[in-house]
Amino acid sequence: MPRAAANTLRETFVPLVLIAGDTLTTFAGLALGYWLRYASPLAPSSGNGIFIPVPDATFARYLPLLLVGVALLLGAFTQFGLYDSRLLLRRYQSLNAILKGSAFWLAAYLGVSLVLRFDPPISRLFVLIAFVCVVALLYAWRTLAYTLVTRGPLLDRLRRRAVLLGWNDDARALATEMARDPAHPFALAGVVTLTGDTSAPFTPPSVPAAASSPVLALGPVSDLSAILARESADLLIITRLDLPRAEVRRIVETCERAYVEWKVVPGAFDIFLSGLRLQTIGHIPVLGVEELAINRLFNRALKRAFDLLGALVGLVLSAPLVLLLAALIKRESPAGPVFFRQTRVGSGHRPFTLYKLRSMAPDADTTDAAQQSTARTDPRLLRIGAWMRRWNLDELPQFWNVLRGDMSLVGPRPERPYHVEQLAYAIPHYLPRHVVKPGMTGWAQVNGLRGDSDLAARAQHDIYYIENWSVWLDVQITLLTFVRWRSENAY
């Protein structure tokens, strides 16, 4: 497809379809909230309702308020970037924007209802119910839309064509990242070679690009203009910074003439890239990492409040289940304790005692020192223990760790001191995980990286979480934890 047609599809048509779907879904969520509040068996008109009646709250009279609610929600979604074309294939970032926009609407709608007198009056309970309905229906609709887009012929037309300039470790990592996800927003066309590239791991032009690196060699940088036109490129990523200034200027001018976006990989920085800021010392510009958002005082207080509320609710709701599981553990293995305690490494590399429901034989810890994760067929596992681990129920006592302040609801999973020391040498940038409190769940876990999984990928996801933290990301991860409660890699 010509690039102009692909751009129209990506920049205009699909966003308009999503806006139309969001509009209908949002109205359906508000209407469902109205029905639950005023017309369902819970409503006063049913005779046995439990809600406080609101006079003359007919659907016809409430309809203008519902339409105002739809307009406010769509405005909030737009403000938080939901319809940015860069989010079309970013499922979880879109969910993040939906949560932010819905929370903003909730606060705005409640605030307006307190200041202005509506006729009929807006029930605050209706607003809360409608908020839950809207988020749930939008999540279902967006999941359906994402599935249809990523499993059909539309996907290739929505992905941006990317070309790498230069081949090195950064380029190899980018190629692997793009190939890992079949629905990645960028499709790698290949690499333009530079003098002094570290290697040339390219497949012949007659062979399709591999599922991971090596990738296609598109030609030398001297042919850049023709390559960009031939490949219908949308983006050029410069992976090397050791180029002469005149050469960089020529490359940038070539991209400008071809209307191709260009980006540079800052090779001096491997982590916390979102914290990079351009500052000046005197009149000299310098690029460096500023304070992470997750470590700012207000954000730490906000995260702690979120943790305290979640830990208290979690302890109360899980108490009956913990008692039942404790009885089953004692029935199968009466010799050992119900709770299992183990030293883990927390924030600032400080050790703390982590609590779990015991899932193995009483003396399992004496033979577990060097094992990173438990095998599926481990003979030390109790029958009830294997089931608890599959559903992550053995970790319920960690709500107590969160309440104590040793852990957070969301964060990198904590490891034992021995493994931390080993992994610090084996995995680049592993130790920065400990600049924040460990969590009961995390970005790596909701992406399937739990138990017997790629440790380097888990560390990368943890670093991503730390440098991109927001309260909305914590809410998103918490919701995804319940959606993906069962783990395939936990034994």
Residue 270 Cα distances to 27, 158, 202, 274, angstroms: 44, 29, 25, 11
- Decide: 490 and 392 in contact? Cβ < 8 Å: yes
pLDDT at position 207, please?
A: 34
Q: Write out the two tokens for 205.
A: 């032009």
Q: 83-87, 215-219, 407-411: which has the minimum mean pLDDT?
A: 83-87
At residue 484, does pLDDT exceed 80? no
Q: What pLDDT score was predicted for residue 58?
A: 79
Question: Of the ranges 87-101, 235-249, 282-296, which one carries the lowest mean pLDDT score?
Answer: 282-296
Q: Cis check for the bond before 220: say yes or no (omega within 30 of 0).
A: no
Percent of the chain at pLDDT exceeding 90: 27
Whole-number Cα distances in Å, 254 to 236, 258, 293, 320: 10, 6, 37, 66
Looking at residue 209, its pLDDT comes to 42
* pLDDT at site 377: 62
Q: So what's the pLDDT on residue 88? A: 78
Residue 413 CA to residue 455 CA, distance in Å, equals: 11
Report the pLDDT value the prediction gives residue 284, as an integer from 0 to 100: 66
pLDDT of residue 431: 85
For the chain, which domains are there? 3-154 (no CATH), 159-268 (3.40.50.720), 295-483 (no CATH)
For residues 110 and 1, the model is more confident at 110
Lowest mean pLDDT among 75-89, 210-224, 363-377, 456-470: 363-377
d(CA 491, CA 376) in angstroms, rounded, equals 5
Q: Is the pLDDT of residue 202 over 80?
A: no
Local structure of residue 185 (DSSP, 8 states): S
- Indicate the range of 270-274, 321-325, 402-406 predicted with least confidence: 270-274
Pairing between strand 186-193 and 217-220? parallel
Report the alpha-carbon distance of residue 163 to residue 224 in Å, rounded: 10
Q: To the nearest whole percent, how much of the chain has pLDDT over 70?
A: 80
Check pLDDT > 70 for residue 6.
Answer: no
Least trusted range by pLDDT, from 21-25, 86-90, 290-294, 364-368: 364-368
Average pLDDT over residues 479-486: 75
Radius of gyration from C-alpha coordinates of the chain: 27
Range name among 28-32, 142-146, 373-377 with the lowest pLDDT average: 373-377
Q: Which two three-digit tokens encode residue 187?
A: 């499709």
Q: Which range has the worst mean pLDDT, 138-142, 237-241, 414-418, 440-444?
A: 237-241
Give the tens place of pLDDT for each residue, 154-164.
Answer: 788 888 889 99
Averaged over 355-366, what is the pLDDT? 81
Spacing of C-alpha 337 from chain mean position: 37
Name residues whose C-beta falls within 8 Å of residue 242's C-beta, 6 or more positions apart in sequence: 196
Confidence tier at 268 by pLDDT (50, 70, 90): low
Say how far apart CA 488 and CA 491 lie, in whole Å. 8
Residue 273 confidence (pLDDT): 62
- Residue 222 corresponds to which tokens in the numbers above? 């001297």
**Closest CA relative to residue 411, chosen from 345, 351, 355:** 345
Going by pLDDT thresholds of 50, 70 and 90, the confidence category of residue 353 is very high
Q: What pLDDT, on the 0 to 100 scale, is given for residue 205?
A: 38
